[in-house]
Amino acid sequence: MRKQSSPGLNGLSGRPWLMCLVAVAIGAWLPQPAAAQTTVQRTAKGASGKDIRIGVYVNVLTNCSSGPLPAIQMIVPPENGSATVKRAKVSLTNYKNCMALEVPAFIGIYRSKPNFAGSDHLTLSVSYPNGRTETQQITITVGTGQNRGRDI
């Protein structure tokens, strides 16, 4: 009488395609690597008590159309003022090889407390639809009116 051999791996030996399928299925259940996250330092400057633009956030697709806008979340608010995000349309020239675009955008605005002069800081998390998340640490230099312009 011949002894029946064990099929091994619960009947999967001799069926490499099935083993690959099982490996793929198991891989789908394993934790996936986190999406790319970067931290950037940015600066802006402006007059006390006035709106200072701290960021413009758009999503221009490769076909030059507008995609979904990123999600923006305040992580650390400013101590000497307030920050808001407004929806607007912005004109872009030669952005990602697209000429003269007008696209929807989010615009970040900072306004200091009246008569404040000095540096203020805030941190934003910007999550783009492609899965990339950016932590933006923004330093705002606030003057008494002579500090015009921005570095963003």
DSSP string for 29-60: HSPPPPPPEEEEEEEEEEETTSEEEEEEE--B
Task: Specify the residue for token string 């709106």.
Answer: 51
Mean pLDDT, the chain, integer: 80
**Considering only CA atoms, which of 119, 135, 136 is closest in space to residue 81?**
119
Q: Is the pLDDT of residue 146 over 70?
A: no
Q: Which domains does the chain have, with CATH numbers?
A: 38-143 (2.60.40)
For the whole model, what pTM was predicted? Answer: 0.70
In this prediction, residue 101 has a pLDDT band, given cuts at 50, 70 and 90, of: confident
pLDDT at 140: 98
For the stretch 37-64, pLDDT in tens is 799 999 999 999 999 999 999 998 888 8
- Beta-carbon contacts of 96 under 8 Å, excluding residues fewer than 6 positions away, are 60, 62, 64
